Amino acid sequence: MQQKIVITGGPGTGKSTVISNLCENGFECMPEVSREITLNARENGTEQLFLTKPLLFSELLLEGRINQYLEAEKKNENFVFFDRGIPDVHAYMNYISIKYPKSYIFKSNLYRYDYIFLMPPWEEIYITDNERYENFEQALAIHNHLERTYKELNYPIIEVPIGTVAFRTNFILDHINS
């Protein structure tokens, strides 16, 4: 039976780096879709879609993450890793205090994952870039919203300790193989 594994956390915590490491080691991985949505919006003249039209951004993100989930189910792999999960969408909406349809929570309960690994804020590696505009204090707040959202959906959360990419990757693999 396929195991669906989410690696989540606030911005700049090393999620995508660990996902890249898992991919390099032959695991099936679903990349973060928000950067693609942000870049597409830029090409169409909107600099920060999440800031200017957060509900539209979130709808596109929810659709993208559900599509990833459904795509993963078609793969003949024991493990599929996701760079963020469906519940991250409404966690971010809670963070910016924007109302969203109840269907977000319904879909988060409909498409369930087997493991949730939460990457804690890590100031020493935190950087901003063209798609990541949050400062470290905002990243802490987002982390708290993510943790709360997954707990409200009755997920056990496994916090990934700070360490090298190899250490963090092995920590995750050890948990899913035990």
pLDDT digits (tens, 9 = 90+) for 11-21: 888 898 999 99
Residue 92 has pLDDT above 60, yes or no: yes
Question: How far is residue 48's CA from residue 66's CA, in Å, rounded to a whole number?
Answer: 22
**Domain residues for 19?**
3-177
Residue 178 has pLDDT above 80, yes or no: no
Specify the 3-state DSSP secondary structure of 80. strand
pTM of the model: 0.90
Strand partners, 159: 118
Residue of 9, 149, 33 lying closest to 93 (CA atoms): 149
Mean pLDDT of the chain: 89
pLDDT of residue 172: 98
Structural Rg of the chain based on CA atoms: 15
Q: How confident is the model at residue 64 (pLDDT cuts 50, 70, 90)?
A: very high
What CATH number has the domain bearing residue 66? 3.40.50.300
Number of domains the chain is built from: 1
Q: Which residue has the higher pLDDT, 16 or 113?
A: 113
Cβ partners under 8 Å of residue 151, min gap 6: 157
